[in-house]
C-alpha cells in the first residue's frame, strides 16, 4: 500500500517530518577484515544528533568520516554498537535516509526528471504522483526547465543539484551528504551551500554533512564534530554560535573566526599525528 505521507504536497510532507530525524550512535566501532589484516576505521563512538540539526563532520583524511556516515545510511554495519533513527535501529538502507555523494551518481540513461522520479516510483507512487514530486524538487533546486536533459548535458553543480533533489524526493527525515561539493569550483560551491541552507530551512530535515573544508563546516553547521586520526572517534563537539539565516559576510565576524581557528588548529594537530603514524 502506498505511503501517502511521502507523496503529499511538499509543505505537508515537511510538516510530517517535524520532530523526526533524531540519530543516536551508541558505542559504534567499525573494523574491516579479520586477523592480522584487520583495519579499525572507526573507534568506539557515541553521538546524539537532534531532529532538524545541521551537523558537519570534519577530520583528517582516512579518519573514518565516510565510514561513520555509511553506518548511519545502513550501507556499512557496525562491528560493535548500534545506530538508530527515531529509536528504530538501522539494519540497512531505508527511505527515511537520503544520501548525496561527491560523485554525482545519477543514472546516465535517464533524464533529469526520470532520475528524480525514480525513487518515488520504487516506493510505490504512480507515474503521475512521482512526476509531481520530481517537478516539485526540480523547481526547488532551480532545474525544472532542465527536466528533459540527460546528466551528461549538465554542469557539475547542476548535476549535484539533481542529486539533492533525488535524495529529497522520498521526503526523508535525514539527509546524509558525503563531501557533496568537494569537486565544485569556489563560486559554484558557495552557491550550492546557500541553496542547501535554503532547502534545509524549508524542510527541517536533519543533515549530516561530511567535509574537509573548515570554512564550509562553520558556515553550514549548528555543530561541527571533529574526528581524530584513524581509527576515528569524535574528539570535539563544536557549537557554532552564528545566527540564521547565514550569509557569506559572516565570515568576518568574531564568532566565525573563533570557531574557524579552533577547528583548524584541532584538524592540523590530528593531521600531524596521522602523518607521523603513517611514516613510522
- The string of pLDDT tens digits covering residues 146-182 is 999 999 999 988 999 999 999 999 889 999 999 999 8
Tell me the C-alpha distance between 38 and 140, whole Å: 45
pLDDT given at position 276: 64
Tell me the C-alpha distance between 278 and 193, whole Å: 33
pLDDT given at position 125: 85
Average pLDDT (22-45) is: 93
Q: Which of 85-94, 133-142, 269-278 has the lowest mean pLDDT?
A: 269-278
**Residues in a beta bridge with 97:** 174
Whether the pLDDT of residue 67 is over 80: the answer is yes
Q: Which of 5-19, 83-97, 131-145, 229-243 has the lowest mean pLDDT?
A: 5-19
Torsion sign over Cα 201, 93, 223, 215? negative
Mean pLDDT score of the chain, rounded to an integer? 89
pLDDT given at position 15: 64
Whether the pLDDT of residue 1 is over 50: the answer is no
pLDDT given at position 235: 95
Domain ranges of the chain: 4-107+173-278
Asked if 209 contacts 56 with a C-beta cutoff of 8 angstroms, the reply is yes
Whether the pLDDT of residue 6 is over 70: the answer is no
Percent of the chain exceeding pLDDT 90 equals 66
pLDDT digits (tens, 9 = 90+) for 269-279: 988 876 666 66
The pTM assigned to this predicted structure is 0.90
Whether the pLDDT of residue 201 is over 50: the answer is yes
Q: Which of 181-185, 190-194, 225-229 has the lowest mean pLDDT?
A: 181-185
* CA proximity to 182, closest of 173, 172, 193: 193
Per DSSP, 149 falls in state: S
> Which of 47-51, 122-126, 267-271 ranks highest by mean pLDDT?
47-51
> How would CATH label the architecture of 4-107+173-278?
3-Layer(aba) Sandwich (3.40)
Pairing assessment for the beta strands 80-85 and 23-32 based on DSSP bridges? antiparallel
Asked if 10 contacts 2 with a C-beta cutoff of 8 angstroms, the reply is no
Whether the pLDDT of residue 41 is over 60: the answer is yes
Whether the pLDDT of residue 117 is over 50: the answer is yes
Q: What cell numbers appear for 213 in the block?
A: 573544508
pLDDT given at position 274: 67
Q: Higher pLDDT residue, 108 or 104?
A: 108
Amino acid at each position: 500500500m502506498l505511503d501517502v505521507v511521502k507523496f503529499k504536497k511538499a509543505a505537508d510532507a515537511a510538516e510530517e517530518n517535524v520532530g523526526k530525524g533524531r540519530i543516536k550512535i551508541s558505542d559504534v566501532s567499525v573494523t574491516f577484515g579479520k586477523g592480522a589484516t584487520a583495519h579499525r576505521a572507526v573507534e568506539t563512538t557515541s553521538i546524539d544528533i537532534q531532529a532538524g540539526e545541521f551537523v558537519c563532520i570534519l577530520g583528517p583524511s582516512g579518519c573514518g568520516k565516510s565510514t561513520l556516515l555509511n553506518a548511519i545510511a545502513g550501507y556499512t554495519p557496525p562491528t560493535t554498537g548500534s545506530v538508530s533513527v527515531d529509536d528504530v535501529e538501522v539494519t540497512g538502507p531505508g527511505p527515511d535516509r537520503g544520501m548525496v555523494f561527491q560523485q554525482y551518481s545519477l543514472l546516465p540513461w535517464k533524464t533529469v526528471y526520470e532520475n528524480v522520479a525514480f525513487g518515488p516510483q520504487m516506493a510505490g507512487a504512480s507515474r503521475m504522483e512521482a512526476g509531481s514530486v520530481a517537478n516539485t524538487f526540480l523547481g526547488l533546486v532551480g532545474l525544472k526547465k532542465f527536466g528533459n536533459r540527460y546528466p551528461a548535458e549538465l554542469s557539475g553543480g547542476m548535476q549535484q543539484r539533481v542529486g539533492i533533489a533525488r535524495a529529497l524526493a522520498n521526503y526523508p527525515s535525514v539527509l546524509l551528504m558525503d563531501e557533496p561539493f568537494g569537486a565544485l569550483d569556489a563560486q559554484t560551491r558557495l552557491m550550492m551551500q546557500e541553496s542547501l541552507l535554503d532547502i534545509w530551512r524549508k524542510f527541517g530535515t536533519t543533515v549530516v554533512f561530511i567535509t574537509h573544508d573548515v570554512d564550509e563546516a562553520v558556515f553550514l553547521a549548528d555543530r561541527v564534530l571533529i574526528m581524530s586520526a584513524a581509527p576515528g572517534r569524535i574528539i570535539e563537539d563544536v557549537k557554532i554560535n552564528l545566527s540564521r539565516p547565514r550569509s557569506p559576510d559572516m565570515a568576518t565576524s568574531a564568532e566565525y573566526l573563533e570557531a574557524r581557528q579552533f577547528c583548524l588548529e584541532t584538524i592540523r594537530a590530528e593531521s600531524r599525528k596521522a602523518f607521523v603514524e603513517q611514516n613510522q
